Structure 1
Amino acid sequence: MKKSRAFLKWAGGKYTLIDKITQYLPKGDTLIEPFVGAGSVFLNTHYDRYILADINRDLISLFTIIKSTPQKFINDAKLLFTPQNNQEQAFYQFRELFNQSHDNYERALLFLYLNRHCYNGLCRYNSQGDFNVPFGRYQKIYFPEKEILFFAEKAQKAKFICGSYQTVMKKAVKGTVIYCDPPYEPLSTSSNFTAYYANGFNNQEQQNLALLAEKIAAKYQVPILISNHDTTNTREWYKKAIIHTVETRRSISCDGQGRKKIDELLALYQ
């Protein structure tokens, strides 16, 4: 079956692992994703309803706008995707405009522009909440029109929420399935991307997520699947779950040698 790509680039995106994730995702009426990211799992599954959440307000605002006015958004966003705007000076001007803007629609347009033009499609903010990823220096920029249209069509089944994983997971009732894709336990200190948004996701949060998953699965008979790196820590955190090991390639690395195969795990609470 042909897989659908997300319209955003995303660190830790699940496009390459979709087949393995869907193999272990239980059936149900509604899928809840507390860490939706670019939405690859949402785009490649077939539930009746979706509750899709993230703590990144810009991301959820963008998704909500595309759900309601996809064609207007595409027409306006296209105006930013020109050869003149794929230059360092223009990029930093738009980045500054984004950081100063308080208009949700303008920020949504600029968020897409920054995502496709910045280094490796990273989404990172400084302690003041300013987007601070540098210019990506791509020769050619792809405008993801068909991917946006597909997302907008599928989004008619979805409710988007800006909120914490604790808040969103507590919305689960029988018939719901939860898929959690938290910021991963780093394999080394140099690969720590957990501060991709203003509030990082440390080991205490990782443990809290595992305990909450265990509790909700037991109390409400709601199956929960969590993905993460396969490490000593994650094996300990998810010791009450059924563990499946999957192999993937590192998606972000500064040196070419870093793009090697690594083990991830899928922890299923049911």
Structure 2
Amino acid sequence: MIKKQRAFLKWAGGKYKLVEALTQHLPLGERLVEPFVGAGSVFLNTDYPSYLLCDINQDLINLYQIIQAKPEKYLTEAKAMFVEAKNDKEAYYKIRDEFNRTRDPFLRSVYFLYMNRHGFNGLCRYNKKGGFNVPFGSYKKPYFPHDEIMAFAEKAQKAEFLCIGYEQAFELAREGDVVYCDPPYAPLSTTASFTTYVGSGFSLDDQALLARHARHTAIDRQIPVLISNHDIPLTRELYHGARFDTIQVQRNISQNGNGRKKVDELMALYDESYHSGND
């Protein structure tokens, strides 16, 4: 069995644990397009000739572009942040404040990894003014992902990274592509909606629009689209006409692991087999 490659970022909703099951549902193609690349586990564990990897988080895409272009310089600067003196609440909040003040892309990319590994649960969260606001995580010795960054940098030579929304990503898809969508998941209940990633978050209207883009991309342009989400009545209704399958994964939903549970995940594939009435 081929060894799985871990992403170098901690990421809520990351696909590392289910990447083997998920990739069995991805059609073959010349290029994989991901409108919601996140930490990139699917990118890292597939073998398409090329990739178009998109996200609306400018800090994330900026980080990936810098590692793609100058990994050695990045590794040197980022590793200098992973010292005992900086694994401290006061140091963390000072760096977080500097991150929120600077517009320098390289500095922000270095601080982003530091906060990802030193902040609470690896969350990526911003306030309404765009300031990163994840609290200190109090970890004994945060891990510096040197090998994972090098593996990402090597694979990134086959990729293009763009900071755009999912609608623009669909527009850029072309014949021969495969689209994989891993959107912020629909809430399991009205009280369980996840903290926003960027700006105003991903609404139920967005969930419905994404489903519509997927249908039209598959039907009108013959570009297959796979979407993953919670397996709930809402998503089965949203993705009507797709071919459904389910997979299970254990998710860590609390820092100490006491909140772990199995949740069914829905794989909805739109391809040439789609037939439906009006959309």
What's the CA shift for 1:253?
3.1
Q: TM-score, normalised by structure 2?
A: 0.95
What residue is the counterpart of 1:55 in the other structure? 56
Q: CA 1:189 to 1:82, structure 2 compared with 1: closer, same or farther past 3 Å?
A: farther
What's the CA shift for 1:83?
0.6
- Contact kept in structure 1, 2:246 and 2:267, CA below 8 Å: yes
In structure 2, list runs of 5 or more residues that go unmatched.
Answer: 272-279
Q: Which amino acid aligns with 1:147?
A: E
Distance in 1 between the 2:169 and 2:57 partners? 14
Distance in 1 between the 2:255 and 2:9 partners? 20
Q: Deviations over 1:107-138 (max 9, x none)?
A: 00000000000000000000000000000110
What's the CA shift for 1:73?
0.2
Q: Deviations over 1:214-264 (max 9, x none)?
A: 001011111100000011100100111001111111232367443111111
Q: Which amino acid aligns with 1:133?
A: V
- Contact kept in structure 2, 1:194 and 1:201, CA below 8 Å: no
Q: Which amino acid aligns with 2:244?
A: I
Distance in 1 between the 2:195 and 2:232 partners? 16
SS in 2 for 1:140: coil
Distance in 1 between the 2:76 and 2:256 partners? 37
* 1:18 and 2:12 matched: no
What residue is the counterpart of 1:139 in the other structure? 140
- Contact kept in structure 1, 2:121 and 2:255, CA below 8 Å: no
- Contact kept in structure 1, 2:117 and 2:142, CA below 8 Å: yes
Q: Which amino acid aligns with 2:12?
A: A
Q: Which amino acid aligns with 1:95?
A: R
What residue is the counterpart of 1:174 in the other structure? 175
How does 1:253-268 map onto structure 2 within 5 Å?
253=254, 256-268=257-269
SS in 2 for 1:24: coil
SS in 1 for 2:140: coil
Q: Number of residue pairs matched?
A: 270
What residue is the counterpart of 1:112 in the other structure? 113
Q: Which amino acid aligns with 1:218?
A: I
Q: Which amino acid aligns with 1:266?
A: M
Q: TM-score, normalised by structure 1?
A: 0.98
- Contact kept in structure 2, 1:12 and 1:251, CA below 8 Å: no
Distance in 2 between the 1:216 and 1:117 partners? 40
Distance in 2 between the 1:41 and 1:162 partners? 18
What's the CA shift for 1:92?
0.3
Q: Deviations over 1:87-124 (max 9, x none)?
A: 10000000000000110000000000000000000000
Q: Which amino acid aligns with 1:40?
A: S
How does 1:186-225 map onto structure 2 within 5 Å?
186-193=187-194, 195-225=196-226
Distance in 1 between the 2:255 and 2:19 partners? 25
Distance in 1 between the 2:116 and 2:163 partners? 19
Distance in 1 between the 2:203 and 2:252 partners? 21
Distance in 2 between the 1:2 and 1:87 partners? 34
* 1:83 and 2:69 matched: no
